[in-house]
Amino acid sequence: MGRRPGVFVRPVSMEEGRRLQRISRTATDPVKLRRTIVVMMSVQGQSVPDITSLMQVSADYVRDVIHAFNEGGSRHWTQNGAGDAPGRSVARCASTSA
């Protein structure tokens, strides 16, 4: 069985980079913050094993976050697409899952 190919985020635009930095500074949701850090580490060239050891998360979690970002960007993480709006995206998620 061969080694799995490395998984990295796609190149990010300046706007996406600024958005990720803003989320990392202002996020009140720990899940969103963790996802942002995973993406930022991947952008900086960190491999999945490096990210898992530093963040104490599974390799599957890191790959899922990277794939989700590659498909939809960070807007995929929030329902309202407005960055970190405390309570709004959590409330929407709760109302749709009930």
Tell me which residue has tokens 């329902």. 79
Q: Is a pLDDT exceeding 90 seen at residue 15?
A: yes
The pLDDT assigned to 57 comes to 97
Asked whether the beta carbons of 41 and 48 are under 8 A apart, the reply is no
The pLDDT assigned to 35 comes to 95
Q: How many CB atoms lie within 10 A of CB 30?
A: 8
The pLDDT assigned to 63 comes to 95
Alpha-helix runs per DSSP H in 4-58: 14-26, 30-43, 48-55
The pLDDT assigned to 89 comes to 42
